Amino acid sequence: MTTENADSDRRRRPRPPRPKGRRLSAVLRQLAGDRSREWVSIGDLFETMGDRAISALMLIFALPNAFPTPPGTSAVLGAPLVFLAVQLTFGLKPWLPKAIANRSMRREDFETIVGRIHRWLAWAERMLKPRLAIFAEPPAEYFAGLACLLLSIVLVLPVPLGNILPAITISVFAFGIMGRDGLFALIGFIMTTVSLVIAGGVIYGLAKASIFFVMQWFA
């Protein structure tokens, strides 16, 4: 790839339209029910989503972390959120390195996750409607991307119970941007403040406790 082509690929993507066709919940259920495959990779999700907005991809990776999931799920689904959030912040097209795209989980585990989130996903899809567009379109969309970037970093940290609220907040942002629903995006901005305050308090408490135990050990 030439430098010129690479620069062209990095140009800002056009404003993504609201996803058309089948609902995201139906697409995920079909993929989860495909018994011809033993594993479901992140690359499979990208291929299945096709030309859907980047926010739909973020929703796929964030929402499962808001529920009890099989061990290792956060490691598989959390890392892509960092990359996608950066791309949302700068208005780039969705892309992930092969090291992340090739990560996979057993189809049965993926089916379990989809089964748990399907009811909530379908409910949110019915609630979405274009409103308060100023909070769901550029430049607010880029600030939402920045908020999701901070939340995704918190999500992948080994903080006890620290992934649930950031995952819910990222999901709310994703719903808002995907459906051009500024109400969801506005709620996401409010939840970001709460999430970061709580996560910061937990991290501070853990750090302080660690320092205390270290000092006691060497005392």
Taking only the tens of pLDDT, the chain with its 219 residues reads 444 444 444 444 444 444 445 678 888 888 888 888 889 888 888 777 765 658 878 888 888 788 766 655 666 677 788 888 998 999 887 777 888 788 888 888 888 888 887 888 888 888 888 899 899 888 899 999 999 999 988 887 766 666 788 889 999 999 998 888 999 999 999 999 998 888 777 777 767 777 767 777 776
For residue 206, give both structure tokens: 């853990």
pLDDT value at residue 219? 62
State pTM to two decimals: 0.75
In a domain, 97, yes or no: yes
pLDDT value at residue 190? 95
pLDDT value at residue 104? 83
In a domain, 6, yes or no: no
In a domain, 145, yes or no: yes
Q: At 105, is the secondary structure helix, strand, or coil?
A: strand
Number of domains observed in the structure of the chain: 1
Cis peptide bond prior to 71, omega within 30° of 0: no
pLDDT value at residue 196? 86
In a domain, 9, yes or no: no
pLDDT value at residue 53? 58
pLDDT value at residue 78? 75
For residue 17, give both structure tokens: 């339209």
Instruction: List C-alpha distances in Å: 168 to 12, 13, 61, 215.
Output: 27, 26, 11, 37
Domain that residue 68 falls in: 22-216
In a domain, 5, yes or no: no
| Range list of H helices, 33-106 | 42-49, 54-62, 73-89, 98-101
